[in-house]
Structure 1
Amino acid sequence: MKTIATIDSKKPNTKQELIAANIKLLIEQLEAGHSENLTNYLTAMSRFHNYSFGNVLEIARQMPTATRVAGFWTWKNLGRNVKAGQKGIRILAPIVGVRRKKDEEAQKDITKQNERVLLGFRNAYVFDVSQTEGVDLPEMREISGDPGENLERLAAFVKGKGIQLAYNPSIAPALGMSYGGRIAILPGQSKAEEFSTLVHETAHELLHKAERRTATTKTVRETEAEAVAFVVAKAVGLVTGSASADYIQLYHGNASLLAESLEVIQQTAAVILAALEPPLADEDDEPAIDAELAEVAA
């Protein structure tokens, strides 16, 4: 695997700077022909969909091979220790404080006197499971080439959104169609193909049937939907292909458009994955990091 170039020596200290630096780096790498870096970013989205967009980019940049990350003390609590000499993966963690209310309602009810507020962000470090040793962790349920119950769960999610789902042979040669409130799937596909197709069309329903449709091209919409399918399929253990080497050409070097596209891909994939299987408590990464931070009084 080719190495990813480093970000400028000045470390980004805000979420906006973090995202901007990584998007700039990704554009440079894609324009240089290193399309595997886009695959790294999308793969990271499939592994760390509970993370913020900026931190997903940062983890993918620093350790593309990471599969399961947590803070130093979280690993301790799981019976594992970070190996000596291991370098942490730098992310931005929230600093949460307590603000005391002084209004009349708070005076009457002690439970309403304080509120948690976000004060900002600070540098924090997480470590991949490969950087630790100790008690074996429960294996994540992996599926190879078969979505298993996820296909039924996805169909239930779609119907729960008020979207009609039907199987229609007349849409051939298309594998699936999204009509805005209605999805048609071509029957006879393998379970893996059917799952990926349904994710793709669900992404269209969630992303492209409102105002945003007028601000994007058909090619961008199709690419976003296919990227969501890549992320979700990867997350449930299906074998997936590489991301398109021509992806960057859709954006013509437009960093803000690429950033928006990647962010909606991450958000949409996270919504679908949350519907398929609730995250395990020890994988709720950023809240776990938050718990390690001392509360700061406002």
Structure 2
Amino acid sequence: MTTQVRGRAAREAKLEALQEQLSESVAALVTGEDWKRALTFAAQFRGRSFGNSMLIAAQHFAAYKEGRVPEPTPTYVAGFHQWLSLGRSVSKGQHGYGILAPVTGRFASFTPDDPNSWRRLARNEKPMSGEYARTRMIGVKPTYVWDISQTTGDPVPELPRPSLLQGEAPAGLWDGLADQITAAGFELRLVSSAAAIGGANGLTDFLSREVSVRVDMDEAAQVKTLAHELGHVLLHAPSESALSTESAADATLHRGIAEVEAESVALMVGAAHGLDTSSYTVPYVSTWAASVPGESPVEVVQAAAELVRATALGVLDKVDTQQVGDGNPPRLDREALGHRTGTTAVSTTARRDGAVLGL
């Protein structure tokens, strides 16, 4: 066996082990509290995919139990050379946390609107004159990151954390969320009490294109409800045929997951601002994860988590607010990150049909 073949076999074995560990970590999300903890961690490490944040959390906790790191939760994570660029080096004997990094390829096409027209470019091959070029993710490979507690060297500045009083909303968050709702073509209505909207805290009506939020709650509860309804607006807008019997049946079938997704978007947005997320309600994972025919609960959970993360990142990018760190060390050159591991483009394409969805 050649060195190259052995190296490829070793990488494939590491990749398989990481994917198995990720599946086990996702399968361990049983209760609503498990899900909330995972999403809160993902919000604090939102520079990574949900899957990679799960891998980091599991491996760091294992290192903590073995006495290799002082705290059960990591602070900042980065690659070996990224730490070197910050004047820090990995301590002797510290093992990195395996995560999944994207493998990309270059493609070219004369007719980019035709998905079947793209051809893979060979190494160092340039597109022909008149061709459009695009980089696409074609797979994943194992790579490693280390927590700051596993390194020594120059001090890393602490990021300021939002300081909120009980019931207080982060400055600017309400306005930022409200702007996104109106930009999506919805009217925002403030109602005096839950009685005005059928006993709910908030309501999204896709027929009248109205979002209603009750204002007889504290500011934190109001902004949490607004984020929940924005989640519905971004994820669950009906298609043109939404009023058909088939679409209505589909909306009923997936209603539970739609509510989980909207609440989870609100949770990640709140956690990214230092809000207390203990009042956020998510049912047992096993209840909603088993509701999609033809997909395993692990597949459903992973897909929902990545969709929630991508949506929350899109929301957070559009609000001018003070947010907690994203898990990357301060001052780390973003260009040095290259293609951020596991970063998924935000999609606000309607995924499920429904007429009225509330909190």
TM bucket normalised to smaller: 0.7 to 0.9
Alignment of structure 1 residues 47-62 onto 2, 5 Å: 47-62=44-59
Alignment of structure 1 residues 230-269 onto 2, 5 Å: 230-241=267-278, 244=282, 246-252=284-290, 254-269=297-312
Q: In structure 2, what is the equivalent of residue 6 of structure 1?
A: none
- Contact 1:95/1:118, CA 8 A, preserved across alignment: yes
- Contact 1:171/1:177, CA 8 A, preserved across alignment: yes
Q: In structure 1, what is the equivalent of residue 129 of structure 2?
A: 104
Q: Secondary structure at the match of 1:22?
A: helix
Point out the structure with the larger helix share. 1
Segments of 5+ residues of structure 2 without an aligned counterpart are 1-12, 62-72, 106-122, 240-246, 291-295, 342-359
Alignment of structure 1 residues 88-237 onto 2, 5 Å: 88-96=96-104, 99-101=124-126, 103-105=128-130, 118=137, 120-133=139-152, 134-145=154-165, 146-169=169-192, 170-171=196-197, 173-180=199-206, 181-210=209-238, 214=250, 216-237=253-274
Q: In structure 2, what is the equivalent of residue 3 of structure 1?
A: none
Query: Normalized against structure 1, the TM-score is what?
Result: 0.75
Are residues 26 and 93 of structure 1, via their aligned partners in 2, closer, same or farther at CA, if it must alter by over 3 Å? closer
- Contact 1:46/1:232, CA 8 A, preserved across alignment: yes
- Contact 1:143/1:238, CA 8 A, preserved across alignment: no
Q: Could you give the per-residue CA deviations for residues 9-50 of structure 1, whole angstroms, max 9, x where no partner exists?
A: x54359xx83x75244422x245x7x6543342123212223
Are residues 40 and 132 of structure 1, via their aligned partners in 2, closer, same or farther at CA, if it must alter by over 3 Å? farther
Cα distance in 1 for partners of 2:15, 2:176 equals: 39
1:137 to partner: Cα distance: 1.4
Q: Note the aligned Cα RMSD (angstroms).
A: 3.7
1:282 to partner: Cα distance: 6.0
Q: In structure 2, what is the equivalent of residue 83 of structure 1?
A: 91
Q: Could you give the per-residue CA deviations for residues 180-202 of structure 1, whole angstroms, max 9, x where no partner exists?
A: 23211111322211111111111
- Contact 1:50/1:270, CA 8 A, preserved across alignment: no
Percentage of matched positions with identical amino acids: 28
The one-letter code of the counterpart of 2:80 is: F
Q: Could you give the per-residue CA deviations for residues 220-254 of structure 1, whole angstroms, max 9, x where no partner exists?
A: 22122112211111111011117746222222363
1:291 to partner: Cα distance: 7.2
Q: In structure 1, what is the equivalent of residue 42 of structure 2?
A: 45
Query: Normalized against structure 2, the TM-score is what?
Result: 0.64
1:257 to partner: Cα distance: 2.3
Cα distance in 2 for partners of 1:238, 1:124 equals: 32
Cα distance in 2 for partners of 1:166, 1:95 equals: 46
Are residues 172 and 291 of structure 1, via their aligned partners in 2, closer, same or farther at CA, if it must alter by over 3 Å? closer
Are residues 185 and 11 of structure 1, via their aligned partners in 2, closer, same or farther at CA, if it must alter by over 3 Å? same
Are residues 291 and 260 of structure 1, via their aligned partners in 2, closer, same or farther at CA, if it must alter by over 3 Å? closer
Q: Secondary structure at the match of 1:100?
A: coil
Structure 1 or 2, whichever has the larger Rg, is 2
Cα distance in 1 for partners of 2:205, 2:147 equals: 42
Are residues 102 and 25 of structure 1, via their aligned partners in 2, closer, same or farther at CA, if it must alter by over 3 Å? closer
